[in-house]
């Protein structure tokens, strides 16, 4: 509002001077020219103030979004921990039929609950939404890959295919963690352990016990 008033005042002053330009002495003309020369600087200052206000408002919105995201991460972390525990139980199997059953009965449903919670987490700025979307995609794709892995599991040698799934998930979750840490830092917040869901390690490896006890 102040900038708009200043602009109108300058325009009005110049319009009043214009009819008398030929009658003014050199000093008055020079003063008028100085007013015109300073006008861009004054209006530039108004633009800087507007940019500062926008930056302050963006920082406030980002920090509120970060606080909500960090608070919601605890429940997601608990569900992620349950996924890890179910993997560990399945990996204690000593034969492939039991392992397949445990994966279908316990691991995949645990992953479904975890992914559902990720989809329900607040990500209230465009940047945070994009970063969190990468985590959702990583675990959604991993869940599909693991389901296909279990369906195609026939021999102990097939367990080796799990390593590629695990590595791919680790890479994508690691990229998410890096992007999230940079986002927090940009808005003067520090990403601490437990402030974001999941971990770069992802699920554990396929069971060595089944590999050792079931003939290929």
pLDDT digits (tens, 9 = 90+) for 22-65: 554 544 444 444 444 555 555 556 667 877 787 888 888 898 99
Assigned domain for 173 exists: yes
Q: In terms of residue numbers, what domain contains 20?
A: 2-47
Looking at the fold, whether 100 and 177 belong to one and the same domain comes out as yes
Q: Can you tell me the mean pLDDT for 84-111?
A: 94
Q: Calculate what percentage of the chain has a pLDDT beyond 70.
A: 68
Shared domain check, 13 and 68: no
User: Are 90 and 126 in the same domain?
Assistant: yes
Q: Are residues 31 and 118 in the same domain?
A: no
pTM over 0.85: no
Residue 35, classified by CB atoms within 10 Å of its CB into exposed (0-12), middle (13-18) or buried (19+), is middle
Q: Are residues 12 and 106 in the same domain?
A: no
The DSSP code for 123 is: -
Q: How many domains does the chain have?
A: 2
Q: Give the N- to C-terminal CA distance of the chain in Å, as an integer.
A: 78
Q: Does residue 89 sit in the same domain as residue 180?
A: yes
Contact 59, 187 (CB under 8 A): yes
Q: Is the same domain home to 20 and 124?
A: no
């Amino acid at each position: 509002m102040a900038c708009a008033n200043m602009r109108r005042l300058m325009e009005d002053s110049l319009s009043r001077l214009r009819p008398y330009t030929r009658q003014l002495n050199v000093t008055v003309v020079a003063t008028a020219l100085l007013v015109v020369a300073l006008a861009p600087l004054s209006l530039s200052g108004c633009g800087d103030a507007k940019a500062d206000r926008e930056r302050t408002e963006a920082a406030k919105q980002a920090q509120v979004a970060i606080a909500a995201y960090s608070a919601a991460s605890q429940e997601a972390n608990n569900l992620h921990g349950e996924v890890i525990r179910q993997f560990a139980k399945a990996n204690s199997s000593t034969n492939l039929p039991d392992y397949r059953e445990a994966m279908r009965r316990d691991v995949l449903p645990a992953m479904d609950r975890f992914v559902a919670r990720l989809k329900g987490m607040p990500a209230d700025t465009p940047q945070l939404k994009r970063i969190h979307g990468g985590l959702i995609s990583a675990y959604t794709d991993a869940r599909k890959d693991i389901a296909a892995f279990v369906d195609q599991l026939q021999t102990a040698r097939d367990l080796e295919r799990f390593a590629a799934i695990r590595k791919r998930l680790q890479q994508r979750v690691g990229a998410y963690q890096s992007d999230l840490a940079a986002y927090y830092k940009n808005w003067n917040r520090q990403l601490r352990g437990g402030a974001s869901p999941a971990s770069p390690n992802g699920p554990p490896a396929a069971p060595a016990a089944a590999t050792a006890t079931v003939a290929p």
